[in-house]
Structure 1
């Protein structure tokens, strides 16, 4: 029996024929990177291949690495194996990796979402025999509202805070979520101020040619009265720190797919939880997998056991695989109890909606 084109090893997803790894978590000679989040792009590889729009963020995060970048649809051949990148829609520069050799086609999706967020290149289904997929939100309770509704709520909340004379702080991961929020804020309300980690990421993306709305980095010299006129973009790591407390009184909002669950909002001590994720919801996962026409599905992280069981019940050949991919934000699935489903106006999700019984990493 012939060996599969891709294998799951203790270093990462490996192509023995091509002699390269995809998103390896231990140092290797040749790494193909789906996107620049820390659970997929590790330091220490001898060479890296990624999408062009990940270039400056990878340099910012990993230092002076040996990096080759290509565009979507461009093909690179390694030892006879063809590698081509396709949009994943997860964050700016995120890619699915199509690997093909002698008619056998695999796609490693990394992380992805199927809704067009207006800033990342939208997800494209890629036909293949084998599809390697996340399932961060692989339970029917996770059904995202259109993002236009979420940003209407965010902008109304910000406007109301300003009218009441209190500051507005909104938290989201520094790569992906922060830029998505930034691009959909109503700047007629006021300016946007940023934590240094987010602004460093913004600057890296701008160096890469990405056009972002204007922002102002918060420094010790930034007048507090000026900050109060705008909105503050903060990473999850800033929650509860002296940095964020100096803006009091403020209203704190958290953007995450986990905000669909009451318990997650409570642990974040958020005044408002906005259900906004850079991962596919239940319907997105099922539709994306179906669109590949694949023969086999491999689930790398998230609700792998229950989602694999569901896929097998509806006719797919699906199984769990062990990887070190996971939560690229701050809360993980193991911290969440499904009985904590939110029923307030912030989420209309209810346990049991969707195709089955019910249950981020990019929040």
Structure 2
């Protein structure tokens, strides 16, 4: 049996196809699952990615040699059939399906199974081997519905606005910020964003994703605007001098890590909203089960727990040691 994906110092490598998936060292040919910094890096000779993510990928990486595929479109490279399928993680996120020698492997990158109006929904692919993340691979992680969560965010924003203070919500600039924009009630007040967020908003709008109007914080001269505003920024900015311009603020952090007791306190936030672009514990196992795979390889997150649990379910489970993990980026202020 040919191993369609193996671990190398540069990243996950497909030997028969002679290419890498989300490599963390510069390589000649890279298939990219999505544009988050731990999966899409500069320095590769040739990039292959989903067409839906072209805008955000170019915005983040600049001038690159990029080939795109529509979801479900198939190409052959050195005898390996490659196709990309929605992962439901962020705009343009994809699972990489590889077919060669009668076997099918799927490398999922990062994914979520919950609905999200800002990206194509997760589509399970039947396969022999499934390579999965496990960022929130513990039974404690179980997400509530978006309707319930955004009602809470709106109520927090509304209460702050009535007190005449800004609502500063820290979140990851790519994916999380746009999901928040699509979910909140923009009628409550103006929406102000950090300079790291707006270019991604523009890429989403260019891709046809409907987002409410946003204003750059640095372009606002009337400080009265801030008194009813929702302000979206990266966690690093929330703890910097950049945030002083808003005066009296209520602060919050939107992340799956807010499920953990103490995470909000360590970050110094008033509120924590449990919102993640990754699958929770039930979602991970629902996704794995839908593939029909008898062998599962875990790449990052709660690896030992996930491998042990999958083995107890009768699956052949193992792990790749990778350099993935945008939890580092999400908790930079914690």
TM over 0.5: yes
Q: Does 1:107 align with 2:95?
A: no
Other-structure match for 1:152? 151
Q: Is contact 2:22-2:40 (8 Å) kept?
A: yes
Q: Is contact 1:112-1:123 (8 Å) kept?
A: yes
- Indicate the larger mover: 263-272 or 172-181: 263-272
Q: Is contact 2:48-2:68 (8 Å) kept?
A: yes
Q: Is contact 2:253-2:272 (8 Å) kept?
A: yes
Q: Distance in 1 between matches of 2:168 and 2:244?
A: 10
- Indicate the larger mover: 222-231 or 292-301: 222-231
Alignment of 1:121-200 (within 5 A): 121-200=120-199
Other-structure match for 1:65? 64
1:175-222 CA distances to partner (integer Å, 9 max, x unpaired)? 100000000110111121110100011122233343322111111543
Aligned length: 333
Alignment of 1:73-84 (within 5 A): 73-84=72-83
SS at match of 2:186: coil
Q: Does 1:16 align with 2:25?
A: no
Q: Distance in 2 between matches of 1:121 and 1:19?
A: 29
Give the 4+ runs in structure 1 shifted more than 4 A.
none
Q: Distance in 1 between matches of 2:61 and 2:249?
A: 34
1:214-246 CA distances to partner (integer Å, 9 max, x unpaired)? 111111543221122221111122121011122
Q: Does 1:258 align with 2:260?
A: no
SS at match of 1:110: coil
What displacement does 1:330 show?
Answer: 2.8
Q: Distance in 1 between matches of 2:61 and 2:211?
A: 23
Q: Is contact 2:168-2:238 (8 Å) kept?
A: no
Other-structure match for 1:343? none
Other-structure match for 1:331? 331
TM-score by length of 2: 0.96
Q: Is contact 2:193-2:217 (8 Å) kept?
A: yes
TM-score by length of 1: 0.89
Q: Distance in 2 between matches of 1:213 and 1:316?
A: 45
Other-structure match for 2:307? 308
Q: Is contact 1:53-1:205 (8 Å) kept?
A: no
Q: Distance in 1 between matches of 2:188 and 2:50?
A: 35
SS at match of 1:228: helix
Q: Is contact 2:118-2:209 (8 Å) kept?
A: no
Alignment of 1:79-90 (within 5 A): 79-90=78-89
Other-structure match for 2:246? 247
What displacement does 1:118 show?
Answer: 1.9
What displacement does 1:319 show?
Answer: 1.2
